[in-house]
Structure 1
Amino acid sequence: MNLRLDVEGDDRDAMALSRWLRDERELRGCIQQQPGPVDPEAMGTMTDIVVPLATAVVSGALTPLAESLIAFGAQRRRQVTIEVGGVCRITVTGGDDPAALAEKLARIAIDER
């Protein structure tokens, strides 16, 4: 199962988030980019940022991921949406608690096993 990350704004914001996450030592190897929706009127960006949930859990990257998403949102004043397996959507803002977000993602990972 994958976590798909989307940033409010345009494709440049998504690319900025991708660079932001790739600069985090604890997240190296967890972040992937995939082509986004082909339809120009579709929601989302031209490039999707994807984090395989199992990889993030095994590598212990959920807490650094949560901290990075919240810090990105705070500095850029953007919301980041996490879509989990096309079923669950979580909106992350700069004021969220990283521990609570990491715990929520961990619970989702456990439920998917």
Structure 2
Amino acid sequence: MAEENASITVDGTEDDLRSLGNWLRDEDDLRGRVKLDAAPIEEGEMGAVLDAVVVLLTSATAGTLIRSVKDWLIVTRNAKKVTLKLTSKDGGKLELSVGSAKDAETALEAARKFLGE
């Protein structure tokens, strides 16, 4: 059975992705649902490059995810933009860009609507 998930990229460094991943893992609702995803290793590369944080979602955890991303942006202040790519169980896709608390509120409403809350 297909899962709903969010693939999150950060307009920053691998350290920013690790920081966000660790931040999300600290959320009780998201614990065990967060992993770091690496791009395939290309010829000539020494190892994998992190390119996203992936979170398995339910309608209940979508709000937690976006609120937590908003909080992370406020606390870290070093990431310019976070892009969330949501995939629903039926294969539908929604891409949201968040760079401020106001963006996060708009994204939360769009995610809830997309996930059928």
Q: Which ranges of structure 2 fall in alignment gaps of 5 or more residues?
A: 44-48
Write out aligned runs for 1:1-113 (5 A).
1-39=4-42, 46-53=50-57, 56-57=58-59, 60-77=60-77, 78=79, 79-85=81-87, 87-96=93-102, 98-110=104-116
Bigger share in helix: 1
Q: Which ranges of structure 1 fall in alignment gaps of 5 or more residues?
A: none
Bigger share in strand: 2
| Identical positions, percent | 25
**1:61-100 deviation digits (Å, cap 9, x = unpaired):** 1121111101111222222111234943211123226554
> How high is the TM-score relative to the length of structure 1?
0.72
The alignment yields a C-alpha RMSD, in angstroms, of 2.6
**1:31-57 deviation digits (Å, cap 9, x = unpaired):** 1222224359xxxx524211123xx32
Counterpart Cα distance in 1 of 2:84 and 2:41: 20
Counterpart residue type for residue 81 of structure 1:
T
Matched residues, number: 103
SS in 2 for 1:61: helix
